[in-house]
Amino acid sequence: MGYKVKLGIFEGPFDLLVYLIENAQMNIYDIQISEITRQYLSYMEAMRKLDVPMAAEFMVLAAALIEIKSKMLLPRTAPSEEGPAAEDPRTDLVEKLLEYKRFKLLAEMLQQQEEQGLRIMEKPQEDLSVYTGQPDEYLDLDLRQFVSAFNLFLRKKKKVEEIRKHHIRSEKQRITAEARMADIRDFFREDPFREADFKDLIERKDDKYDIALTFSSLLEMMKEKKLEAEQKYIYGDIKVKATEFLIKGESDDE
């Protein structure tokens, strides 16, 4: 059975591979590695004929797929008293694909939140002078009227404070991403060749928004090839280090 490959621009080799698997309606835990490898290589061949430049990561993944395909051709031993069965050669690839899909979903959610924040229209501050600029008038009110007017004033003031706080929070969310990337650049400026833990880049480790913001900033700087990150296993520590682009950029600033 053949699968139709859609040519387009993909963010990276895993983006292409996820597309091929989902387009073929395959179970990600039971990938038909031979067919997917064929589709992947066909895509790369089409890109080569169109003279479209490809990153080295596409070639690395192609080699990994061919290696997995060759291992799948070898007979696998069944579990016995002498030892467990051989591990499925696709296991490591499946784990990386699942991790990639989680990161991509998180990045899309953060982007949607940013776009939604940019569409928020703030209500201008109300003029409360009608309640605060004529104190002599209230001296002529009886106690019941005065209490009613004062309660109205408190409700208006509370509403204005809520609008002001929301405006400050929305404004902060629009500028924090750039500020966090600047903080990360300053962090590596002290020692450009250090290898840091991702947790060291988070300012407020108990704040979920701060964690998500730092993570999205890290992804953006990786996209700009200013940082490299490595996670050796799922849920493990993420090691981050600066690339020559960030180091060279900081040296030019000086």
User: Each residue of 40-79: pLDDT tens digit?
Assistant: 888 888 877 776 666 678 888 888 888 888 888 887 665 5
Residue 166: give its domain's CATH number.
Answer: 1.10.10.580
Question: How does the average pLDDT of the chain come out, rounded?
Answer: 76
pLDDT at 91 over 70: yes
What pLDDT band is residue 34 in, cutting at 50, 70 and 90?
confident
How many Å apart are CA 133 and CA 231, to the nearest integer?
Answer: 62
| DSSP secondary structure of 93-111 | HHHHHHHHHHHHHHHHHHH
Do 186 and 67 fall into the same domain? no
pLDDT confidence of residue 58: 81
* Helix 91-118 / helix 13-23 crossing angle, nearest 10 deg: 100
Do 111 and 144 fall into the same domain? no
Q: Does residue 81 fall inside a structural domain? A: no
Structure tokens at 23: 């387009």
**Interval 185-209: pLDDT, tens:** 888 888 878 888 888 888 777 778 7
> Can you tell me which residue has the tokens 């996670």?
231
Beta bridge partners of 60: none
Q: Does residue 16 fall inside a structural domain? A: yes
Do 37 and 138 fall into the same domain? no
Give yes or no for a contact between 46 and 4, defined as CB atoms under 8 angstroms apart: no
**Interval 121-171: pLDDT, tens:** 776 777 666 666 555 555 556 678 777 877 888 888 888 887 776 655 555
Give yes or no for a contact between 50 and 3, defined as CB atoms under 8 angstroms apart: no
Residue span of the structural domain in which 6 resides: 1-73+87-119
Do 131 and 50 fall into the same domain? no
